[in-house]
Structure 1
Amino acid sequence: MNKPSLLVLIPLDDDSYSAVAAGFDIVYAPTPAERFAAIEAHGAAIRAVLTNGTTGLTAAELDRLPKLEFVSALGAGYENIAIDHARARGIVLCNGAGTNDDCVADHAFALLLAAVRDVAYRDRATRDGIWRDQLPMRPTVSGKRMGIVGLGNIGLKVARRAAGFDIETGYHNRKPRADAAYRYFDSVVELARWSDYLIIATPGGPATRHMVDRTVLDALGPRGFLVNVARGSVVDTAALADALAHGTLAGAGLDVYEGEPEPPQALLSLRNVVLTPHVAGTSPEAIAASVNNFIDNATRHFAGEAVLTPI
């Protein structure tokens, strides 16, 4: 029996590639040039696509894949996949919801701790022979207020971690969650005004672009800290850089930013921001879970069964 033809648009490590290749005939195209060539050469035969929210899959590309019936994002995000266009063709869509939530929530707290306690700078200072008496004291992390923008699976896990630090949690969603005991704010600005820390865990895409703008940052204020583990597009980079440079925001920790993979030039010279290169959702455990989830979903689909994590 022939294995279904699968177009892979994202990099896979050797173990992940081998696991996927056991059940699928892979066309591997993780770079833009390879992607164009692969669709040109193999588009007529492709039945499935593996991508992610950042890499996506365009409507024009969908039109060049006439046999396509299944599209999966490896992680939870899917903002750059032409969802409506795919649905109009009856293509089954799924993602990796729940496979890396713990990893992202852990990283959000790592960024928060690093930003509030100034860990990166103090590491460098220690290596340069600077003793604590020459450094200003930093705030205690515990006992404060945390606002979460996007109380989904990841947001809920961030809130659980906050409880261990005796941090009070509030949140903003499009509408309140009936199953959440945390305080709800119907405005991001009001949530920011209430918060000491603002954690961004909302989906990307046009609906949330620059949701965190100058007004929100001003509301968070000169003792406030921002952490973004969602998508770079949610935060207005220019406004953030200005707030950090002028002390109207105390600090920030960013795993994502506009213009990836290039780091934001306006932030690089600022010592009150901690940057990591979109790695919050990646660990050996998280990648293995995401790949296994994809294989489970794809296997179920091609066996005529419902997928486990539909979009």
Structure 2
Amino acid sequence: MQPEILMVGPMLPQTMQSLEQTYTVHRLWEAPDKPALLAQVGPRIRGIATTGSVGARTEIMAALPRLEVIAVFGVGVDAVDLAQARARGIALSTTPEVLTEDVADLALALMLSVSRRIVQYDAYIRSGQWPKSGEPPLTHKVSRKKAGILGLGRVGKALAQRLAALDMEVSYYDLNPAPELPYRQADSPLELAQHSDYFIVTAAGGAATRKLVNQEILQAIGPQGYLVNVSRGSIVDEEALVAALKSGALAGAGLDVFASEPHPDPALLEMENVVLQPHMASGTLETRTAMGQLVLANLAAHFAGKPLLTPYVW
């Protein structure tokens, strides 16, 4: 008999098709009455397939007494009840490495877009303003500036390499220092902000980093500085960010993630010094396909009695 899987949120069509060819899959997000579905199939569910942003909440996991494994399509686990998973001995996998380059690429793209006003000047041409108004205002240089990376994990390191290629002065803050790397280590997030023209958030989400980027840090980045976030919206105090952008305390922002998705603060939508993306840092066909394959491989390994390929490290 095929193991029964609860899919909490949608993935690539080919990933979902492969899951349904191998397992009995129940699509929670499509259920008109989710508690009723959990009550009906919960006692039979042995695995969860989910995304990093949707995760596996406490109430869902509690409704699955036979749950053995959670396979996350992504690297973030802040939406998974880790305490319950650990206490129950539930295996947990993510999809690291395969998305690192794309996320780092988008962080750099946001830096360039917001500084050089690429999105705004594309609209300037399309709206017919160029022949009417002439050359628009000058923008700001990116290369040879100071970049501060909050969180020097896989993505942070990949981004640092890209920024170094632009001759930027790269600093970072991380609880796990990397003295072997040629980047300046800051003493605190605040000190990092004080030393940054570009402050890029690549740290992990969760309770420990909630609203870590607050008013004080935004003020420290300064009126000539930019914030870029490709990690989790929860890390930035979005209300303080909006206030800083409105007041000119911050030059601009490039955001792929938001405090409440898919509903960013409406004020951000009206700002020309902000470039927005709909949580698409890993959103290339190549990477999402590789992520789906890794989800499938981890589930297959677990149900074959083998170690997970990419287990979450507690």
Task: Tell me the TM-score normalised to structure 1 length.
Answer: 0.95
Amino acid paired to 1:96: T
In the alignment, which residue of structure 2 is the partner of 1:62? 61
Match of 1:296 in 2: 297
Q: Structure 1 residue 178: deviation in Å?
A: 4.3
**May I ask how many residue pairs the two structures share in their alignment?**
310
- The 5 Å alignment of 1:1-311 reads 2-31=1-30, 33=32, 35-131=34-130, 133-311=134-312
Unaligned runs of at least 5 residues, structure 1:
none
Contact 2:12 2:288 in 1 (8 A): no
Q: Which stretch has the larger CA shift, 189-198 or 123-132?
A: 123-132
Deviates more, 1:121-130 or 1:145-154: 121-130
Q: Is the 8 A contact 1:185 1:191 kept in 2?
A: yes
1:297 Cα deviation after fit: 1.1
The Cα shift of 1:163 comes to: 1.9
Question: Structure 2 counterpart of 1:303, which letter?
Answer: A
* Partner SS, residue 129 of structure 2: coil
Do the aligned residues in 2 keep the contact of 1:9 with 1:31 (CA within 8 Å)?
A: no
Deviation sequence 1:222-273 (CA, Å, 0-9, x none): 1101100001111111111111111111110001111111121121221101
State whether residues 12 and 289 of structure 2, in contact with CA within 8 Å, keep that contact through their aligned partners in structure 1. no
Q: State the distance in 2 between where 1:83 and 1:40 align.
A: 22
Give the conservation status (yes or no) of the 8 Å contact 1:214–1:239: yes
Shift of 1:30: 2.5
Q: Is the Cα–Cα contact under 8 Å of residues 268 and 274 in structure 2 kept in the other structure?
A: yes
Post-superposition shift, 1:134?
Answer: 4.4
* Cα pair 1:75 1:99 within 8 Å, conserved: no
Cα-to-partner distance string for 1:267-294 (whole Å, 9 max, x where unaligned): 1221101111111111111111111111
**Equivalent residue letter for 1:171:** Y
Q: Match for 1:301: what amino acid? A: H
Q: Kindly state the Cα deviation for residue 33 of structure 1 after the two structures are TM-superposed.
A: 4.1
CA contact under 8 A between 2:4 and 2:47: conserved in structure 1? yes
Pairwise CA distance, 1:179: 4.0
Structure-2 change in CA distance of 1:32 and 1:99 (3 Å): farther
The change in CA–CA distance for 1:144 and 1:27 in structure 2 (over 3 A counts) is same
Q: Greater CA deviation, 97-106 or 131-140?
A: 131-140
Residues 34 and 186 (structure 1), Cα distance of their counterparts in 2 relative to 1, 3 Å cut: farther
Task: Please report how far the alpha carbon of residue 90 of structure 1 lies from its aligned counterpart in structure 2 after TM superposition.
Answer: 1.1
- 1:289 is paired with a residue whose SS is helix
**Deviation by residue 1:146-201 (Cα, 9 ceiling, x = unmatched):** 11101111111111111221112111111312443311112111101111101101
Contact map agreement 2:12 2:292 (CA 8 A) in 1: no
Counterpart AA for 2:246: A
Between stretches 12-21 and 203-212, larger displacement belongs to 12-21
SS of corresponding position for 2:83: helix
Alpha-carbon displacement from aligned partner over 1:283-309 (angstroms, at most 9, x marks no partner): 111111111111111111111111121
**Compared CA separation, residues 230 and 61, structure 1 to 2 (3 A):** same
Helix, strand or coil for the counterpart of 1:307? coil
| Local SS of the residue matching 2:231 | coil
Paired residues of 1:174 and 1:186 also in contact (CA < 8 A)? no
Q: What SS is found at the alignment partner of 2:70? A: strand
Contact map agreement 2:31 2:37 (CA 8 A) in 1: no
- Give the superposed CA RMSD: 1.6
Q: Deviations over 1:71-98 (max 9, x none)?
A: 1211000101111111111111111112
Q: Sequence identity, in percent?
A: 38
**SS in structure 2 at match of 1:169:** strand
Q: Using the alignment, how far apart are the partners of 2:50 and 2:237 within structure 1?
A: 26
